[in-house]
Each structure stands twice: as structure tokens, then as C-alpha cells.
Amino acid sequence: MHTHSIRANSTLRSAALVLAVAASLFAGCGQVYDVRVDAMRTPEVAPRQTFLLVAADPARDAADPTFAQAIQLVERALETHGLVAASRAEWADMVIALDFGIGQRRLVTAPEASGRDAGIASVYLPDRSGDAVDATPGIQVPGTAFTRVVAVWEKHLSLVARENRSTSRLATASGAELWRVDVSVQDETPTLEELIPVLAAALIDSIDREDGRSATKRISAGAAHAVLVSGLH
């Protein structure tokens, strides 16, 4: 497996990437998202401090702009949490595998005010034939406020940390699992890039958490920019 450490690849710290991330955030910096967080850790395992961040899928292209954005912002989130990126693979206490993606289009009902700001209910609105109606005009449901049907896509990001058992530069995520965290959010855009900073920000205080319970965090795009993007260099 190839390892993709930000510190080992200076191209991932380019000014072009920082500007691209900032532009996508400023376009929707007033948005607030409800991010679902699932996190757990292996009991009675001593905390690890230094890490190497790698792609969960070794076939991922390190030159892909979305991957470059994700790995850079996630590394920044890990450092904000208090972890330290290892300058060499063999010096890392743990190898953290990063995965992310976007789900299939789904139709859900949402308050007419705004699908994002007012929250999106994961309930299909069937027509008389029993099929989900398309995202066209708003539909009045008896006994409820005026709603509309919208198409949404779920974006997710996950980290799995394992012991680094390698003493070579080719470290792999094959040791015992230490902790894992999965974050996800849904919105009305079919692209992932502008949500990566929001997902990465949701990781910060969820890493190495013991309870294993699901939680929902409200994350603003503006706050994610202030915490993560402003720290890139």
C-alpha cells in the first residue's frame, strides 16, 4: 500500500489548493450542517500520539484534487485534536486510514423554508401509486406545514487508526485497531468538495472517543474555515 503523508508531499500544501478550499467555503460560509458522528475506541488501549495518514483504498490517486483536499484537511483536524504527524512513516505510533465518498441520490421531504437550514427529514413522500414523488413542486401534506420534495446526497468520511507495526518506510494499516470515527452529512448538492471541511471539523473532538454512541453535531462552514483552512500553509 502506498502511504500518502502530507509532510512527505509538498504539492499537497500548494497555494492553489488553499485558495480552492477557501473559495468553496466562502461560497456557503453561512450554512450550518447537522453532521452525524459515530466513534469508538478499543478498550484498555494506551493513547497513541504520532500518526501517518494514508488512503484506505491503495488505488486512490494521490494527485486527485479531492483526495488532496481531504487528506490535508483531515491531517489538520488530527493536529488540532492534539496528535502529531510523523515526519517519517517508521516513526508513527499509528497508521490512520482515510476513506470518503458520496452516496446515491435520494428523495426526501423538507420544510419549504430551506432544506439545509431547517433540517432534512429522512422520510419519503409517496404519491398515490406508492412511488416517491419527484423533486418538482411543493406538496401540502394534511396536518403538517408546507413541505417540498428534494433530492439529497449523503457525504461521508471515515478514519480507522491501527498500530504501526512496521519499521520500514512502507507502513501499512495492518496492526490492531485502536479507534475509528465515521462522520456523514446530507445536503442538496451532488458534489463532495465543499462538505469535506465540514466533515473534517466534526472529527476534531470525536477522535479516540470511548463511548461508541452516535451523536449529531451542528457545524458551520464558516467555523470549519476558521479552524482548518486558516491554518494551512
Domain ranges of the chain: 6-102+154-231
pLDDT band (50, 70, 90) for residue 43? confident
pLDDT of residue 205: 87
More confident residue, 37 or 119: 37
Residue 10 clears pLDDT 90, i.e. is over it: no
* Cβ atoms 68, 86 nearer than 8 A: no
- What's the pTM? 0.72
Contacts of 179 (CB under 8 A, 6+ apart): 39, 40, 41, 42, 45, 160, 161, 207, 208, 209
Of the candidates 87, 59, 89, 75, the one whose C-alpha atom is nearest the C-alpha of residue 172 is 89
pLDDT of residue 169: 59
The percent of residues in the chain predicted with pLDDT above 90, rounded, is 47
Pairing of strands 94-102, 50-55: parallel
Q: Which residue in the block uniquely carries the three cell numbers 463532495?
A: 192
Range of weakest confidence among 43-57, 91-105, 168-182? 168-182
Query: What CA dihedral angle connects 58, 62, 66 and 67, to 10 degrees?
Result: 50
* Cβ atoms 215, 135 nearer than 8 A: no
Instruction: Report the pLDDT averaged over residues 38-50.
Output: 89
CATH class of 6-102+154-231: alpha beta
Residue 131 clears pLDDT 50, i.e. is over it: no
Of the candidates 23, 33, 12, the one whose C-alpha atom is nearest the C-alpha of residue 117 is 33
> Average pLDDT of the chain?
76
Residue 99 clears pLDDT 60, i.e. is over it: yes
* CB burial readout 120-130, b (16+ within 10 A) else e: beeeebeeeee
Residue 125 clears pLDDT 70, i.e. is over it: no
pLDDT band (50, 70, 90) for residue 167? low
- CA neighbours closer than 13 Å in the CB half-sphere of residue 138: 13
Residue 159 clears pLDDT 50, i.e. is over it: yes
Range of weakest confidence among 18-32, 35-49, 61-75, 216-230? 18-32
Range of weakest confidence among 84-88, 98-102, 129-133, 160-164? 129-133
Give the bridge partners for 183, in sequence order.
37, 157
pLDDT of residue 225: 84
pLDDT of residue 7: 39
Instruction: Report the pLDDT averaged over residues 112-138.
Output: 43
Count of C-beta atoms within a 10 Å radius of residue 170? 10
Of the candidates 48, 6, 39, the one whose C-alpha atom is nearest the C-alpha of residue 176 is 48
